[in-house]
Structure 1
Amino acid sequence: MSDRIDRASDDRLDLFVAGTVYLDIIFTGLDAVPAPGTEVFTLGMGSCPGGIANLAVAASRLGLRTGLGTPLSSDVYGDFCWQTLKEENIDLSASRRFDDWHSPVTVSLAYDRDRSMVTHGHPAPLNADGLVGELPPARGAFLGLGHEPMPWVRRAREAGTLVFASVGWDSTATWPAEALAVLSDCYAFLPNSVEAMRYTRADTPREALHRLAERVPVVVVTCGSDGAMAVDSGTGETASALGVPVDALDPTGAGDVFGAGFATGTLAGWPLDRRLAFANLVAALSVQHFGGSLSAPGWGDIADWWRATRARAERHHAESTEAEVARRYGFLDDVIPAGPMRTVRRATATIARLSDANVGGGATGAADPH
């Protein structure tokens, strides 16, 4: 298979994702979380669709034909998220709007290269299996593990779809192993190191990696700025990838962007080490901007980073860090698309009025020059 991204040549989606979309409001530039009884002012703020939207938008910006199954409210927040997702070329035919349910909202406070979040919401009017119904034909599917049964996952596997899974923070702090039962129908599982260790009761990320490899063919454990490690039991491949050094503004949604990058490389047939390196790169580029979804890089951002990286490597000796990074990402010459690239926009503080959103984006985001 060519190293170039091979979009589906038929009517199938490249990637179908199901889950909940939140309105994310992100504050950055904080030195610490405000102490009780105090107030902190900051000039850094962004608003954008979050939750599963982070992964869907990231995948679409990487050229995958992406579909999303989600409940969305008919309130103003829901209108904003719906319009933004449509503008990001997300197929919403499996999604539904609801009048008597308000949009869930997450406030993310980014500080010290990490973030804390507060979420407000009520149970969704329809779970993922009810949304998916008849599974859209897709080469790949991505889901977040939860405590509810998801029969559509088995249907997807039986239809030949590669199913990728991630998992969120367990607010109950019980980390039940039963939550991993659905992995028997999955192709890949991508937890972060804390999630992996808590669910497997392991002492180290690597120990957790190998325990999870007994449950699912491909396991990737992310370790933040330290990179990621992976095992492919089907091919016998193992890989680890260093993090890409960048000036981080907001890590919100970086794990979702990582997942989109890994799925992109998998559907293109890349070896495990390239998939891991590429996922690390797109996640690193995303943390330089506000928010999870609208921080996701487009191919123009990747091309710009690669040009700058090669230029720095040429100015340093062969054993320098810059030269090592350039060698690690030399495969980008074979995968960056030729020709004009679609612009992407970034999150800004203002949520647009619907009339603005219908005319070139208005105040919902700034166009990226790439």
Structure 2
Amino acid sequence: MEKTFDVAVFGAVFVDIKGFPRDILIPKGTNIGSVKFKHGGVARNVVENLSYMGLKTRFVSIVDNSALGMEVLARLKNEKIDTEYVDIVDKDGMGMWLVVLNEKGDIAASVSHQPNLKYLYNIIDNHAEEIIKACNSVVLDLDFEASYIEKIINIAKEYNKKVYAVIGHLDVVKRNKHLFNRLDCLICNNIEFEIIAERTFETKEEVIEACRELTKSGLKKIVVTMGKKGSVYYDAETGEEGHVDIVPVKVIDTTGAGDSFFAGTVYGLISGYSLEKSVSIGTRIASLTISCKESTNPEIKQKMHIIVV
């Protein structure tokens, strides 16, 4: 019997090396604290969150043939994520992200070592059609060469699959901005949105007005996160627009908050909820993530009945 999935997620795996200071961070000093290795990467975080929320997920990626790579793969399988198209390579299959957090849990500095995406491109060249045919929706990391993003979108549109794209780096916004109009929903933060819109904004109303303009070329929905100001959204198909406040929690680590928000919002849309309800779900998922030291929070599995109320 052919396997079918709610969503297929295309993207790279990263290993996060996180430094937590014990006291107030001294940027140019030696800070006593703790250093931890965490499984990360935007796409990996997203697929794990979607699995926590109960969706049947397939991950399309690569890992290194190392103890760390096998640990990443084992965790994905343990969360019931399909890894048939996660290839194992000898070197540079995974990225590394070194980050230092301050005493408030916010990122103070980071360095990113990128994986070699040629291995992932090989999977797309050889298997993209069969992968996309077997799923209902597609999530892809925009940190690909434009030709591969277009290939995935073209196949998805051919088989009438919805496409949601997640932004990993600001450079991605500048490089692949021309592809946004082909997405079913663009979810980004206010900094990324200002680059996309090519201007700055002072109010939520100005952001919503810009969303109306940007959806005139084909993009169907836009969600913009604005930090402590919450999120705004606009749906060109229904005319639905508005704002969702944050859920106040004690912040432990903000890493992965954007990925969790994205996953929660996409979960809502895949599940048939309105854009407002979907953004509300994303907000609650993000609040759970920033209240723990991981890039994803497994407590989501036990709290979904509360989150979707």
So what's the TM-score if we normalise by structure 1? 0.72
State whether residues 7 and 55 of structure 2, in contact with CA within 8 Å, keep that contact through their aligned partners in structure 1: yes
- The equivalent of 1:235 in structure 2 is 238
Q: 1:96 to 1:102 in 2, by over 3 A?
A: closer
Structure 2 residue runs without a partner (length 5+): none
Q: Secondary structure at the match of 2:20?
A: strand
Q: Deviations over 1:123-164 (max 9, x none)?
A: 233244337533422111111223512202211122111101
Q: Deviations over 1:245-266 (max 9, x none)?
A: 0001111111111111111111
Q: 1:13 to 1:102 in 2, by over 3 A?
A: closer
Displacement of 1:171? 4.8
Amino acid at match of 2:264: G
Structure 1 residue runs without a partner (length 5+): 1-9, 307-328, 333-370
Counterparts of 1:71-220 in structure 2, within 5 Å, are: 71-101=62-92, 103-111=94-102, 112-115=104-107, 116-128=109-121, 129-130=124-125, 132-136=127-131, 137-146=134-143, 148=145, 149=147, 150=149, 151-171=151-171, 176=174, 179-204=176-201, 206=207, 208-215=210-217, 216-220=219-223
Q: Which has the higher helix share?
A: 2
| Structure 2 CA distance for aligned equivalents of residues 75 and 224 of structure 1 | 37
Displacement of 1:103? 3.1
Q: Secondary structure at the match of 1:23?
A: strand
The structure 2 residue matched to 1:51, chosen from 9, 18, 42, is 42
- The equivalent of 1:358 in structure 2 is none
Tell me whether 1:19 sits opposite 2:11 in the alignment.
yes
So what's the TM-score if we normalise by structure 2? 0.86
Q: Deviations over 1:162-206 (max 9, x none)?
A: 10112222359xx53x51222233211101110110122121161
Identity %: 22
Tell me whether 1:275 sits opposite 2:278 in the alignment.
yes
- The equivalent of 2:225 in structure 1 is 222
Q: Secondary structure at the match of 1:60?
A: helix
State whether residues 135 and 152 of structure 1, in contact with CA within 8 Å, keep that contact through their aligned partners in structure 2: no
